[in-house]
Amino acid sequence: MEKLEILTASAKYDVACTSSGSDRKSQAGGMGNAVSMGICHSFAADGRCISLLKVLMTNSCVYDCAYCVNRKSNQTRRAAFTPEEIADLTMQFYRRNYIEGLFLSSGIMRNPDYTTEQLIAALDLLRNVHHFGGYIHVKAIPGADDILLSRLGLLADRMSVNIELPSKESLGRLAPDKSKQSILKPMALIKEKINENSSDIVKYNHAPRFAPAGQSTQMIVGATPDTDYQILNLTEGLYRKYGLKRIFYSAYTPVVEHSLLPSLDTKPPLLREHRLYQADWLLRFYGFQAKELLDEAAPNFNPLLDPKCSWAINHREQFPVEINRVPYETLLRVPGIGVRSAQRIVKARRAGTLDFYALKKLGVVLKRAQFFITCKGKMLEGLKVGEHTLLRSLMSGQELSPFLQPQYEQLSLFDDTYLAALPAAGAAALRKGESS
């Protein structure tokens, strides 16, 4: 239990899974309880939500990344699981129906190769001794040998290599043991292996699958002065070059005092993280390019407007567009029209001409879209297109409020254990921040 507490608490800063679990004792006369042992949720390719045991093999690390609670120079309780313990724990949790899979990461024990061998041993026990068929997401350790990474990929469903910081300079300053090259190399290898594997599967029916759920990465936002423009450019490059399934952004939560990092009372930039997720969505599903959304002159997102509205306001010359004529790609650029509603519009207009009433029924958010579209050549009757009305309609107070006054802390498990391990001043600062 003690090791589990330490190693699930240490894993919570990795956001490759999206939320933590809950902890609830069973009540007299009630049935069942919830155990929060680092259980997080992730989404499968088909949109299904799966619960994972999210744990580190060890929180001991020979590296000294300034932003990390597990860095070697930080005074914190250390623990390590053996491969047998990881396999046993996963099977026990699975049998009790707590989890459907495992998210396994680790600090660097001795060196990247040794750590990867330990991860392989745990996954090998699970897959080949216990015949565990559940989902496994494993971290690839930068610097590990290609052969070891190739073996690891054959045992896992998803692999991820954390890029951590958006620029080479930030990496050099805050993670001196890592280099951009050591992170990108395993990413390239995973991509290559996935490609090779997809042609093997076509040729041989029983070819083993290599990381069938693809690869992802995580980037910390707000720990360094890097701009949204730099982050988005990197994001675009990573999707294009390495075929990543997802990039996760993690608002930096100060956990250690360091002269190169924001002070301990700095709030995690959750709104910025949210804007980056929205922009990431625009790159992947809406056909936008990073350079259209931001540039050197305006390198950060407007916190009050979502990136698509911001783009539309800056490109008023391209609007209004006639909803009954413009191609699908143009529909996607209209604020208030999402992928689903654009598809429905294209389908519905084959049967007849659409008006504003029909658009509303198709799921278009007219409050936003009305300023940018015409139906049968006319804008919405009685619409006032003043600068003030436009901005007020595009800014969603509802959307902003949770970020301006956040009610929760990201991935917080075992708070007391975690706070007890911090220096008194740091713990006090974090406790103070809890309510916000």
| Interface positions with ligand SF4 (CB under 6 A) | 61, 63, 65, 68, 70-71, 107-108, 175
Is the Cβ of residue 164 or residue 306 nearer to ligand SF4 in the bound state? 164
Is the Cβ of residue 51 or residue 162 nearer to ligand SF4 in the bound state? 162
Is the Cβ of residue 159 or residue 312 nearer to ligand SF4 in the bound state? 159
Q: How far is the CB of 245 from ligand SF4 (least distance, A)?
A: 21
Is the Cβ of residue 251 or residue 362 nearer to ligand SF4 in the bound state? 251
Is the Cβ of residue 20 or residue 115 nearer to ligand SF4 in the bound state? 115
Q: Is the dihedral of CA 275, 172, 254, 410 positive or negative?
A: positive
Is the Cβ of residue 253 or residue 370 nearer to ligand SF4 in the bound state? 253
Q: How many CA atoms lie within 13 A of 276 on its CB side?
A: 30
Is the Cβ of residue 175 or residue 337 nearer to ligand SF4 in the bound state? 175
Q: What is the 3-state secondary structure (H, E, C) of the chain?
A: CHHHHHHHHHHCCCCCCCEECCCECCCCCCCCCECCCCEEEEECCCCCEEEEEEEECECCCCCCCCCCCCCCCCCCCCCECCHHHHHHHHHHHHHCCCCCEEEEECCCCCCHHHHHHHHHHHHHHHHHHCCCCCEEEEECCCCCCHHHHHHHHHHCCEEECCCECCCHHHHHHHCCCCCHHHHHHHHHHHHHHHHHHHHHHHHCCCCCCCCCCCEEEEEEECCCCCCHHHHHHHHHHHHHHHCCCEEEEEECCCCCCCCCCCCCCCCCCHHHHHHHHHHHHHHHHCCCCHHHHCCCCCCCCCCCCCHHHHHHHHCHHHCCEECCCCCHHHHCCCCCCCHHHHHHHHHHCCCCCCCHHHHHHCCCCHHHHCCCEEECCECCCCCCCCHHHHHHHHCCHHHHHHHHCCCCCCCCCCHHHHHHCCCHHHHHHHHHHHCC
Is the Cβ of residue 7 or residue 156 nearer to ligand SF4 in the bound state? 7
Q: How far is the CB of 261 from ligand SF4 (least distance, A)?
A: 13
Residue 287 zone, left/alpha/beta (φ > 0; ψ -120 to 50; rest): left
Q: How far is the CB of 85 from ligand SF4 (least distance, A)?
A: 19
Cβ atoms of 39 and 12 within 8 Å: the answer is no
End-to-end CA distance of the chain: 30
Q: How far is the CB of 247 from ligand SF4 (least distance, A)?
A: 17
Q: Which amino acid is at 187?
A: M
Q: How far is the CB of 33 from ligand SF4 (least distance, A)?
A: 31
Q: How far is the CB of 142 from ligand SF4 (least distance, A)?
A: 8
Is the Cβ of residue 3 or residue 344 nearer to ligand SF4 in the bound state? 3
Q: How far is the CB of 186 from ligand SF4 (least distance, A)?
A: 13
Q: How far is the CB of 77 from ligand SF4 (least distance, A)?
A: 15
Is the Cβ of residue 4 or residue 255 nearer to ligand SF4 in the bound state? 255
Q: How far is the CB of 234 from ligand SF4 (least distance, A)?
A: 18
Cβ atoms of 341 and 369 within 8 Å: the answer is no
Is the Cβ of residue 61 or residue 156 nearer to ligand SF4 in the bound state? 61
Q: How far is the CB of 25 from ligand SF4 (least distance, A)?
A: 32
Q: How far is the CB of 99 from ligand SF4 (least distance, A)?
A: 23
Q: Within a 10 A sphere around the Cβ of 240, how many other Cβ atoms?
A: 10
